[in-house]
């Protein structure tokens, strides 16, 4: 997801709508009304704020909800009321402004190749996979959005030329109001940067866990996975439980392997390798042939319906069919690739 792009988007939106936001009961001013910029910056980060709050309480579907059109539609009336108190906009205009600001967050995520499911819960279709218009490098991203913001600011200053700004807040002197707003926005950005720093550290630990896994040092891999599995979350839903599951598969501990693979599947039902390894685990479990077929069939059906064009689909299907055909199937061996991260 963009790091500072959302902040620049909120500030630019405030500049665009600011000239039309002064309340009718006040002297017209070309400047945005007090704290409109701060409010729009918060709304620009709102899906991530709600998402992290849900992840803190281990509600993984909350991440999908927070980045959906449904969330924007449900929350926009409340956000619109806040904007209606600040500005002269009608309730309908405030709703549209809040809805647009929240949806811009998802659009920016998609343009940075961040997998999103904006139609959730009605559809689990992924958007953004393979689309990389916004750079992932934080410095390049900041430069891109900084340049766009400067263009908007230049337009704003050009439109403002010859007009005298009139202070519209009777409760706070202009100097104090401006600096209060700057401090609030700066605090939001500092929180974003601090969260990003923690995520970078957790990502490094996760990469170390993968290194230990590939070198069959499973105890250290599990230790680092437990360290990483804290707020703020860094791995995509189900990834850490999947890695735990395949470690236990390698250690020939099928009960624990099944437990964590099912946890992974419940948190992300579109994770190809989890579905494949669950099918492989059940195909090789020590049960009767009919029981193994019954356990495996739901996952095989999902693989055929959703992943028939996946590069590893044929390899998985071959292994599963061979295991099902065997009277005494061997222990399952998962397939781990760099994409599972």
Render pLDDT for 17-32 as a digit per residue (tens, 0 to 9): 876 666 544 434 445 6
Contact 16, 30 (CB under 8 A): no
- Asked if pLDDT for residue 127 goes beyond 70, the answer is yes
Which pLDDT score, from 0 to 100, does residue 27 have? 39
79-88, 124-133, 150-159, 308-317: range with lowest mean pLDDT: 124-133
Three-class SS state of 112: strand
The gap from C-alpha 320 to its chain's centroid, in whole angstroms, comes to 33
Cα distance between residue 219 and residue 216, in whole Å = 9
Which pLDDT score, from 0 to 100, does residue 26 have? 44
Which pLDDT score, from 0 to 100, does residue 216 have? 93
By residue count, the chain amounts to 341
Query: Taking each helix axis from N to C terminus, what angle separates 5-17 and 174-214, rounded to the nearest 10 degrees?
Result: 150
Contact 315, 333 (CB under 8 A): no
Report the share of the chain in percent with pLDDT over 70. Answer: 86
- Asked if pLDDT for residue 165 goes beyond 60, the answer is no
Residue 298, both tokens: 């739901």
pTM over 0.85: no
Mean pLDDT of 56-64: 83
Which pLDDT score, from 0 to 100, does residue 172 have? 56
Q: Which CA distances in Å does 171 have to 24, 87, 143, 188, 277?
A: 17, 16, 36, 24, 63
Q: Which CA distances in Å does 125 have to 16, 68, 155?
A: 33, 11, 38
pLDDT (tens digit per residue) in 141-163: 999 999 999 999 998 888 777 55
- Asked if pLDDT for residue 115 goes beyond 90, the answer is no
pLDDT (tens digit per residue) in 186-239: 999 999 999 888 988 888 999 999 999 999 999 999 999 998 888 877 767 788
Mean pLDDT of 75-95: 91
Cα distance between residue 338 and residue 341, in whole Å = 6
For the chain, helix (H) and strand (E) counts, in that order, are 13, 0
Q: Which CA distances in Å does 79 have to 88, 102, 291?
A: 15, 10, 52
Cα distance between residue 39 and residue 13, in whole Å = 11
Q: Which CA distances in Å does 153 have to 124, 158, 268?
A: 38, 8, 42
Contact 134, 148 (CB under 8 A): no
Strand segments (E) across the chain: none
Which pLDDT score, from 0 to 100, does residue 336 have? 54
């Amino acid at each position: 997801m963009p790091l500072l792009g959302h902040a620049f988007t909120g500030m630019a939106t405030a500049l665009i709508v600011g000239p039309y936001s002064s309340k009718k009961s006040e002297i017209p001013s070309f400047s945005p009304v007090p704290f409109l910029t701060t409010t729009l910056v918060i709304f620009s980060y709102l899906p991530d704020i709600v998402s992290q709050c849900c992840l803190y309480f281990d509600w993984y579907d909350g991440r999908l909800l927070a980045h959906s059109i449904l969330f924007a539609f449900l929350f926009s009336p409340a956000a619109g009321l806040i904007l209606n108190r600040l500005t002269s906009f009608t309730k309908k205009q405030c709703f549209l402004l809040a809805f647009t600001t929240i949806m811009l967050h998802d659009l920016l995520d998609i343009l940075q190749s961040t997998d999103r499911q904006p139609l959730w819960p009605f559809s689990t279709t992924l958007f953004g996979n393979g689309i990389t218009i916004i750079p992932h490098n934080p410095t390049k991203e900041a430069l891109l959005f900084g340049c766009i913001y400067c263009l908007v600011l230049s337009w704003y200053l050009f439109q403002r030329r010859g007009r005298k700004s009139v202070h519209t807040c009777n409760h706070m002197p202009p100097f104090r109001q401006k600096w209060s707003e700057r401090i609030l926005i700066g605090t939001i950005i500092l929180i974003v940067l601090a969260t990003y720093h923690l995520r970078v550290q957790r990502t490094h630990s996760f990469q170390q866990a993968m290194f230990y896994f590939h070198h069959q040092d499973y105890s250290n891999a599990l230790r680092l996975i437990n360290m990483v599995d804290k707020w703020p979350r860094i791995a995509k839903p189900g990834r850490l439980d999947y890695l735990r599951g395949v470690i236990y598969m390698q250690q020939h501990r099928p009960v624990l392997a099944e437990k964590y693979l099912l946890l992974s599947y419940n948190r992300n039902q579109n994770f190809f390798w989890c579905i494949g390894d669950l099918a492989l685990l059940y195909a090789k479990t020590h049960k009767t042939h009919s029981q193994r077929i019954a356990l495996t069939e739901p996952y095989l059906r999902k693989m055929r319906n959703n992943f028939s064009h996946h590069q590893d689909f044929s390899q998985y299907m071959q292994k599963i069919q061979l295991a099902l055909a065997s009277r005494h199937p061997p222990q399952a061996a998962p397939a781990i690739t760099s994409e599972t991260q």
